[in-house]
Structure 1
Amino acid sequence: MATPLSAAAVLTALRAEGVQVVEVGDWRTHNRNHKGAWGPVNGSIVHHTVTRGTANTVALCRDGHSALPGPLCHGVIAKNGQVHLVGWGRANHAGGGDGNVLTQVTAESYDTRPSAPTKGNANGVDGNARFYGWECENLGDGKDPWPAAQYEAIVRVQVALCRAHGWSAKSVIGHLEWSSDKVDPRGFTMPDLRADVAERLTHPAGWSPGATTPTPAPSPEENPMAGITKQDIYDAVWKTDQIPAPADAADIKTNQTWAAQSVLTDLHGRVRRMDATVAAQAVAIKALAGWLGGGADTATIVAAVESAIRDAVITVDVDINQES
């Protein structure tokens, strides 16, 4: 039983284990926490998606569907071994499951498998609060292959969590071991996966079979930039919340604290709108100069200026939409 890792901590753990991570949108704050607790966590559940195509699979797992809102897991493990992080917090992945299985996983007290679950999604205990969830891209028909890169990534992800929490491989289960009405994952066995997780846990983080002992990295005192990647710098500059959003921002209800990206996007939009206003004013001034010199009556001048401004704004709006 443990407090869930923070988004920053799980990134560090995954990367230390050699996992290729892809960060998807606002995954750090995308969750279902408003529906209930997340944590304490007791383990990690492996799923298969019954989908084909990484892009579609990632989108589905991030956004969910009409009957089940996303995120549907914490990460999608693709065929090529990349792990797409789509949410962090409570996610709709485990559903209801067997309380006896939860007890066995928490205590890591079972032999090769937990006892067969007798509770399912409709009548089981809440698993979304207690488990990390990983959807693995596969049709789930027992025939769709599991590429070596994908299986290796599944192992590494589970090792990263186990190492971070001090768990053994027995904290990793399949969805079919949690819920009586689930069959995933199909195509490999969970005892085999746990054996591979256990083997890797006997080695240092990032170890691979046949690899030589890595040269120790410089200490922070020797190299202040040691361990810092381009992604870390990007996250720090572009994704860190910095300032309150303006009260008139279009997304003020869902994006109340802005990072650099939001600031620049808003600034760009305001400058373009100013361009439209200036263009309209220029047209109005030019029209006034012409019509006042021609002796037209006031009503005619007002109507003509309003028409000219309207045409100018429409033209500029079209230009903005085409260029953005």
Structure 2
Amino acid sequence: MATPMTASTFLAALKAEGVTVVEVGDWPNHNRNTKGPWGPVNGVMIHHTVTRGTANTVQIVRDGYSTLPGPLCHGMIAKDGKVHLVGYGRANHAGLGDPDVLAAVIAETKPPTDNEATIDGNRHFYGFECENMGDDKDPWPAVQIEAIVRVIAAICRHHGWTAHSAIRHLDWQPGKVDPRGPGMQWDDVLASVSARLGTTPPTKPAPKPTKPTVDLSKLVAAAKSNPSASGQPVTYAGVKVVEAALVDAGYLAKAYSDGHYGKVTVEAYAKWQRHLGYSGSAADGIPGKTSLTRLGDKFGFSVVA
């Protein structure tokens, strides 16, 4: 048994194991913790999504369905090997499972055949969905299998677990079949995890990324000049930083993250201001120090006033 990693430690562990990570929105705070506890954790569970298309799959596992709200996992492992982090904490991925299987995971032995569903798996497992139709026809690319191995190894390395702390959804819950399909050989996955765990763990932490800095006065000048397009619009590199944050926040389409603080960006920033509780002229889409600082705190940039 173990206490779940913090979101920052989880992210660092994945990166240290060489996982290519895509952070989706405010993933560290997206969870179902109000519905029950998360932890102690005992292992990692792997699923397939029965979906096509990475963008579509990311949206589904992040938002869920009307009958099963998201997040439906902590990370979605795409066919290109990128791991999209969509939530952290309790997630609706495992459901009820077999207590004998949980006992085997805790003992780090091969799980028995599951035949009952009485234990809350959402509490006890890190969960990863993998982009695959699960129809025995959709292939599992080698790069996706490698990402699965690295994800499992990262978590097991941190907690001091062996590869037997990783199970499939089909091991956990009666009637489940995931993950399956051409290229998914679970025994080979576990052997590869064991091989990675037998190597020397990283001795140096990955360097912390340098936070970009946004100059408020320059940003405001760009925001005020570009929407009207009168005269020569002001350009400023910090606009792209802010637009990227607005994309992550879900207020701006990625296609408009182009460094031009035009009407669409003004409207997106106004949505952020309204999210913070501003209204009327205080939510005009022109950045102020407080709203910009809070955006930077949440999405990784600093502000110079």
181, 187, 208: which one aligns with 1:228: 208
Matched, 1:116 2:96: no
Count residues with an aligned counterpart.
229
Following superposition, the deviation at residue 234 of structure 1 comes to 5.7
2:71 counterpart SS class: coil
Alpha carbons of structure 1 residues 161 and 234: separation in structure 2 relative to 1, 3 Å: farther
Matched, 1:151 2:145: yes
Following superposition, the deviation at residue 263 of structure 1 comes to 6.2
The residue that corresponds to 1:40 in the other structure is 40
Alpha-carbon separation, structure 1, partners of 2:280 and 2:208: 33
Q: Does the CA contact (< 8 Å) of 2:31 and 2:91 recur in 1?
A: yes
Alpha-carbon separation, structure 2, partners of 1:274 and 1:197: 49
183, 190, 198: which one aligns with 2:177: 183
The residue that corresponds to 1:194 in the other structure is 190
Matched, 1:96 2:90: no
Alpha-carbon separation, structure 1, partners of 2:284 and 2:11: 39
Runs of 4+ in 1 over 3 A off after TM superposition: 261-275
Encode CA deviations 1:99-129: one digit per residue, 9 max, x unaligned.
0010110111x2xx31000014xxx210000
The residue that corresponds to 2:127 in the other structure is 133
State the AA in 2 paired with 1:54: T
1:129 counterpart SS class: helix
Alpha-carbon separation, structure 1, partners of 2:283 and 2:185: 57
Alpha-carbon separation, structure 1, partners of 2:180 and 2:20: 23
Alpha carbons of structure 1 residues 227 and 189: separation in structure 2 relative to 1, 3 Å: same
1:151 counterpart SS class: helix
Alpha-carbon separation, structure 2, partners of 1:273 and 1:186: 51
Which structure has the larger Rg? 1
Following superposition, the deviation at residue 190 of structure 1 comes to 2.3
Alpha carbons of structure 1 residues 19 and 272: separation in structure 2 relative to 1, 3 Å: same
List gaps (5 residues or longer) in structure 1: 207-215, 220-225, 240-260, 276-324
1:81 counterpart SS class: coil
Alpha-carbon separation, structure 2, partners of 1:84 and 1:269: 36
Encode CA deviations 1:42-82: one digit per residue, 9 max, x unaligned.
00000000100000000000000011000000000001110
Following superposition, the deviation at residue 271 of structure 1 comes to 5.1
The residue that corresponds to 1:26 in the other structure is 26
Alpha-carbon separation, structure 1, partners of 2:282 and 2:132: 47
Alpha-carbon separation, structure 2, partners of 1:87 and 1:205: 26
The residue that corresponds to 2:220 in the other structure is none
Following superposition, the deviation at residue 272 of structure 1 comes to 6.2
Following superposition, the deviation at residue 17 of structure 1 comes to 0.5
Following superposition, the deviation at residue 270 of structure 1 comes to 3.7
1:228 counterpart SS class: coil
The residue that corresponds to 1:301 in the other structure is none
Alpha carbons of structure 1 residues 133 and 272: separation in structure 2 relative to 1, 3 Å: closer
Alpha-carbon separation, structure 1, partners of 2:113 and 2:285: 66
Encode CA deviations 1:115-170: one digit per residue, 9 max, x unaligned.
000014xxx21000000000000000122111111111110000000001000000
Relative to the length of structure 1, the TM-score reads 0.65
Alpha carbons of structure 1 residues 104 and 272: separation in structure 2 relative to 1, 3 Å: closer
Identity percentage of aligned residues: 57
Alpha carbons of structure 1 residues 269 and 146: separation in structure 2 relative to 1, 3 Å: farther
Alpha carbons of structure 1 residues 273 and 179: separation in structure 2 relative to 1, 3 Å: closer
Following superposition, the deviation at residue 205 of structure 1 comes to 4.1
Instruction: Please show how residues 1-324 of structure 1 align to structure 2 within 5 Å.
Output: 1-108=1-108, 110=109, 113-120=110-117, 124-187=118-181, 188-205=184-201, 227-230=207-210, 233=211, 262=272, 270=281, 273=284
The residue that corresponds to 2:222 in the other structure is none
RMSD: 2.8
2:122 counterpart SS class: coil
Alpha-carbon separation, structure 1, partners of 2:63 and 2:141: 26
Relative to the length of structure 2, the TM-score reads 0.69
State the AA in 2 paired with 1:22: V
Alpha-carbon separation, structure 1, partners of 2:135 and 2:285: 57
Encode CA deviations 1:226-265: one digit per residue, 9 max, x unaligned.
71224xx269x988xxxxxxxxxxxxxxxxxxxxx95698
